Amino acid sequence: MKRLTKEIQNSITEKLDRVGYPLQDQLYDTEVEDFFIWFFENAYVFDVSSTLDEAILNDRKIIESRCFGNSQYIANKYRKGYLEGFILYSTYDIYIPHGFNMHDEKVEDYTLAPNDLSSEYYGIIIPIDFVLKYNGKDIDSPSANASLLVEYYREQTKLLAEEED
């Protein structure tokens, strides 16, 4: 894991400016700038694992195009790290919001596996306790697919503000 370089930050910002910022349905206009400052200060760059767990690949609860729900479910059931952030969607040369997992500091992306893995993963590690607090009762449901990144940002900035008071 390594921090995002200024070059990566600029690339993400440039590509997001072209298509509009993601998560706009969750962020208030007044939060957008501070959210991205927080994200760039706290996100990591991740390498992609060359091997994936066969049991997870064969799990019938993993559903195509359900990255947040799949990754939260996997984090809980299989004890993998849970992350949210952005990946480069190379077909269109844009960054999209994405949920994915981590094991031994490498990305394991079971939603896009095995054929559509991105080469660029940038994300924030979200603790499983936080995931369960928001989605615990629905985590096994096929309809659960909510991004938690904005809620996690709000909680983290609230905690920082309380520490400063």
The answer, yes or no, to whether residue 18 has pLDDT greater than 80, is no
Q: pTM, whole model, 2 decimals?
A: 0.90
pLDDT in tens, 41-82: 999 999 999 899 999 999 999 998 899 999 999 999 999 999
- The whole-number pLDDT of residue 25 equals 80
User: In degrees rounded to 5, what are phi and psi of residue 112?
Assistant: -90, -10
Burial class (CB in 10 A: 0-12, 13-18, 19+), 29: exposed
The pLDDT value given to residue 100? 96
User: Distance (Å, rounded) from C-alpha 73 to C-alpha 135?
Assistant: 9
β-strand pairing of 121-125 with 44-48? antiparallel
| Residue 163 scores a pLDDT above 80 | no
Mind listing the pLDDT tens digit for each residue in 68-117?
999 999 999 999 999 999 998 877 788 888 999 999 999 999 998 777 77
